[in-house]
Structure 1
């Protein structure tokens, strides 16, 4: 393994560990608002993962880049799902007898 790959892999693993540690310390009541507010950051992470994927050379590099892009895309999608659920709480409820047009 070349030193550049080891360096990239080290940064990847350390970022996974740091992200898990930071997220696990957030109380449950704050997680939804933070997810909602961080959608733009998730988009930047996805763009960064795609830019790193361009520099991949070799099957292992492509596999790691694919995993990084997949996780970043799931993070963006999950942020929007959480935001939609949160906004649903503030919409007025419809009576079951009413018809919508």
Structure 2
């Protein structure tokens, strides 16, 4: 194993551990704002897929670039959909037109 691969693997594992610890400490009331910010950051993954596509010079790299772009787009769209659903949980229920507030 080369030194560069070992260094990249160590950074990846440490980032997983730190990310898990940070995410587990966030209270439920902050999950929606945190998710919105994370979704915006995930747009960088889409840019990374475009960089792979620009560097592609054979069929395997074109397929990899397509898969990266597809999964990144699904991740971003799904994150915003989930955030939207979570925000709708805090909406007040709408009163019906026949509800005059009195008991019958």
Question: TM-score normalised to the size of structure 2?
Answer: 0.61
Aligned residues: 83
Residues 8-50 of structure 1: CA deviation (Å, up to 9, x unaligned): xx8xxx7xx86xx56x9445x5765543221111111111211
| Residue ranges of structure 2 left out of the alignment (5+ in a row) | 99-104
Q: Distance between the aligned counterparts of 1:65 and 1:36, measured in 2?
A: 26
Question: TM-score normalised to the size of structure 1?
Answer: 0.62
- Aligned ranges for residues 48-87 of structure 1 at < 5 Å? 48-87=48-87
Aligned residue for 2:42, secondary structure, equals: helix
| Residue ranges of structure 1 left out of the alignment (5+ in a row) | 1-9
Whether the 8 Å CA contact 1:39–1:79 is kept in 2: the answer is yes
Q: Which has the higher contact order (CA 8 A, sep 6+)?
A: 1
Alignment RMSD (CA, Å)? 3.0
Distance apart, 1:51 and its partner CA: 1.8
